[in-house]
Amino acid sequence: MSSVDIVGNLAAVRQQIAAAAEAAERDPRTVRLVAVTKTVGPDAVRQAWAAGHGDFGENQVQELVRKAGALPAACAWHLIGHLQGNKARAAIATAACLHAVDSAELLDRLERLAATAPRRPTILLQINISGEPSKSGVSPAQASDLLRAALRCEHLSCRGLMTMAPFAASAPEQQQIFGGLRRLRDRLQDDSGVALPELSMGMSRDFRIAIQEGATLVRIGAAIFGRRAD
Ligand SMILES: *Cc1c(COP(=O)(O)O)cnc(C)c1O
Q: At what angle do helices 42-50 and 6-23 cross, to 10 degrees?
A: 60
* pLDDT of the residue at 2: 55
* pLDDT of the residue at 1: 45
Any ligand 1 atom below 6 A from CB of 222: yes
Instruction: Tell which residue, 119, 200, 212, has the closest CA to residue 162.
Output: 200
In this structure, which amino acid lies at residue 143? A
Whether 114 shows a pLDDT value over 80: the answer reads: yes
Whether 73 shows a pLDDT value over 80: the answer reads: yes
Closest C-alpha residue for ligand 1 atom 7: 204
Any ligand 1 atom below 6 A from CB of 80: yes
Please, which pLDDT band fits residue 227 given cuts at 50, 70 and 90? confident
Nearest ligand 1 atom to alpha carbon 205 = 7
Any ligand 1 atom below 6 A from CB of 208: no
Q: What is the mean pLDDT of the chain?
A: 96
Give the rounded percent of residues in the chain with a pLDDT score beyond 70.
98
Please, which pLDDT band fits residue 133 given cuts at 50, 70 and 90? confident
Whether 211 shows a pLDDT value over 90: the answer reads: yes
Class of domain 6-224: alpha beta
* pLDDT of the residue at 230: 60
* pLDDT of the residue at 175: 98
The stretch 163-187 carries a mean pLDDT of 97
Whether 117 shows a pLDDT value over 90: the answer reads: no
Whether 224 shows a pLDDT value over 60: the answer reads: yes
Q: State the chain's maximal CA–CA distance in angstroms.
A: 53
Instruction: Round to whole Å and give the CA distance between 136 and 200.
Output: 14
Q: Domain ranges for the chain, please list them.
A: 6-224
